[in-house]
Copies of this chain bind each other. A is one copy, B any other.
Amino acid sequence: MHPKDGNNDKRRRASRRRAPEATRLALVEATVDLVRASGVHGTTVDQICTAAGATKGAFFHYFRSKEDILEAAILHWCRERAEGYGRDLGEETDDPLVRLDRMLDGLAASVRVPGEKTACLLGMVAQELAGSNHRVRAVCEQMLDGWTDLVAGLLAEAKRRHSPGTDFNPHEVAWMLNSLWQGSLLAAKTRQDPELVASNLVHARAYVSGLFGVDSPKQNSRKSREVSSTPGLLRHYLENH
């Protein structure tokens, strides 16, 4: 039963041969995709291997356990998203409210990508494991903290620049936005309606605008779906100031 006298190896493992970094990356990215679609327990190591065009041997060569690759997948996912935010935010010298606005635009746009599923790896893993796996929970918490700190920083700077009519705690508001974002993805997935995310983000914007003292312009609920095409409320505020 030796390796089939190996003249023709039927499936050519994704046209990749001895490419350490590529294999590892393929495994991690497959994990991200599969877990986002089916959850942690709903994804098997074998599925990951098949999707990555690798074998169990390769898998356990790079990762000591399923939990390990999960952690790697979370880090990979967050690093990727962070890069996206970096692009969305634009110049650091820009007004923090404009930057936040662009970030929300980016988020709204991210659920509109055609083939893309509306699910955040972080939220899914946290929901499934936070109650039972302390280590994974801690990793998720750290990642959520990262996003919140970023937004809280923007809000804090905005508070300094413009002196808002209402006092507020930037961290609290940032956590509220983060929670809303996660909940929106959950609800949108359940309803199979990505537009729900956009709609919720409109209200999030309106709330932040309200904090900075601008009257929310009359919301036209028919048009509210076209978020990313309209100038954000925050931008609107700044332009008339």
Contacts and interface: CB of A to CB of B under 8 A. Distances in A.
Nearest to A204: B176
Contacts of A176: 180, 199-200, 203-204
**Copies of this chain:** 2
Interface string A215-241: 110111100100000000000000000
Interface in A175-191: 175-176, 178-184, 186-187, 189-191
A166 B218 contact: yes
A172 B198 CA distance: 11
A189 B130 contact: yes
A41 interface: yes
A215 B167 CA distance: 12
Nearest to A143: B190
Contact of A221 (B168, B178, B191, B192): B168
Contacts of A49: none
Contacts of A202: 172
Contacts of A124: 127-128
User: Is the contact region of chain A dominated by helix, strand, or loop, or is it mixed?
Assistant: helix
A156 interface: no
A180 B39 CA distance: 21
Given A203-B176, A210-B210, A224-B169, A144 B38 contact: no
B221 A200 contact: no
Contact of A207 (B137, B181, B207): B207
Contacts of A117: 131
Interface string A124-149: 10111111100001001100100000
11 contacts: A37-B131, A41-B41, A126-B186, A144-B191, A167-B219, A173-B203, A179-B186, A180-B180, A182-B183, A206-B207, A210-B210
